[in-house]
Amino acid sequence: MSDTVAENVRQFAVFGHPVAHSLSPRIHQAFARQQGMTITYRAIDVAPADLAAALAQFAASGGMGANITLPHKEAAFALCAARSDRAARCGSVNTLTRVGDRWHGDITDGAGLVRDLTERQQFDLRGRRTLLLGAGGAARGVAPALFDAGIAELVIVNRSPERADALADALGDPRRAHSRYWNDLGTLGEFDLLINATSAGRAGGTLELPFSLIGPRALAVDLNYGEIAVPFLAWAESGGCNKRSDGLGMLVEQAAESFAIWTGKRPSTEAIFDELSQQARALHTAD
């Protein structure tokens, strides 16, 4: 860690493994420029066994805020001295703030998704029948926020059914949240909102999904972005779903929420979202 950072420069970082691909440094630097602040924001690759030591070292060198990404969100939760209510409900954190000599943990993923859907995509979540594919960290991070935003029903389907059961139980409202088996997808009827929160695309995998899931005027959202989101969104398009979105908006919005927690200033997200979207489109065209 650098000892040469000027005292008035706030130091941030994202911890992950791997993390070199992370867009967070670029997004947070854009926010800081917009707000007239000078910050450092590094991507720090740390193996799970070394997370606690790396966070301690970062704090000792003046680090005041950290984002946490795969695979450390639950481990970081355990390292926090205090946690927000929403982090406690998710059992994981993506935003750490140094308060005195302790880390306070929060999770901004759910708020980021809800803001992207309601404000950028103008999709009213109230009363929506929602399918959540996946029950890993991302699914756990967004489910409570979707609930709070007023969705009517959340059906959780995961490759390992016990994780879907555990998430449905954790939400504590059996009338609104239930788990179902992947093999039963064809019998679940139509949904207004379909969310892919799996990482299947990371290994080049595709999901076997029936078109009968897609309701009229449904929105299909993949929490992944770029190439990884292509198979699910292509499936939705083939099934006649006109409203589709990847996870770039959520990524930018969860970052804005973290930035606001650290600095007290909520940045505008449109310019960096447009820049990253245009870049993603150009990459696609170049393929």
Q: Which positions touch ligand NDP (CB under 6 A)?
A: 70, 109, 134-139, 158-160, 163, 197-200, 202, 205, 207, 223-225, 247, 250-251, 254
Q: Minimum distance from CB of 60 to ligand NDP (Å)? A: 28
| HEC letters along 193-229 | EEEECCCHHHHCCCCCCCHHHEEEEEEEEECCCHHHH
Nearer to ligand NDP, 97 or 198 (CB): 198
Nearer to ligand NDP, 91 or 136 (CB): 136
Measured between alpha carbons, how far is 12 from 157 in angstroms, rounded to an integer?
Answer: 36
Residue appearing with tokens 């870049």: 279
Q: Minimum distance from CB of 147 to ligand NDP (Å)? A: 17
Nearer to ligand NDP, 138 or 214 (CB): 138
Q: Minimum distance from CB of 135 to ligand NDP (Å)? A: 5
Nearer to ligand NDP, 1 or 45 (CB): 45
Residues in CB range of 213: below 8 A, 6 or more apart: 131, 185, 188, 189, 190, 191, 194, 239
- 73 is annotated as an active-site residue: yes
Measured between alpha carbons, how far is 117 from 9 in angstroms, rounded to an integer?
Answer: 33
Q: Minimum distance from CB of 92 to ligand NDP (Å)? A: 8
Residue appearing with tokens 């009229």: 216
Q: Minimum distance from CB of 202 to ligand NDP (Å)? A: 5
Active site residue: 73, 89, 104, 128, which one? 73
Strand ranges inside the chain, DSSP E? 10-16, 39-45, 63-68, 82-83, 95-99, 102-106, 129-133, 153-157, 177-180, 191-196, 214-222, 243-245
Measured between alpha carbons, how far is 203 from 211 in angstroms, rounded to an integer?
Answer: 23
Residue appearing with tokens 């003046």: 62
Sign, Cα dihedral of 170, 174, 177, 178:
positive
Q: Minimum distance from CB of 57 to ligand NDP (Å)? A: 25
Residue at 277: amino acid letter: S
Residues in CB range of 69: below 8 A, 6 or more apart: 14, 15, 16, 19, 22, 24, 94
Nearer to ligand NDP, 161 or 215 (CB): 161
What three-state secondary structure class fits 111? helix
Nearer to ligand NDP, 5 or 200 (CB): 200
The residues carrying an active-site annotation are 73
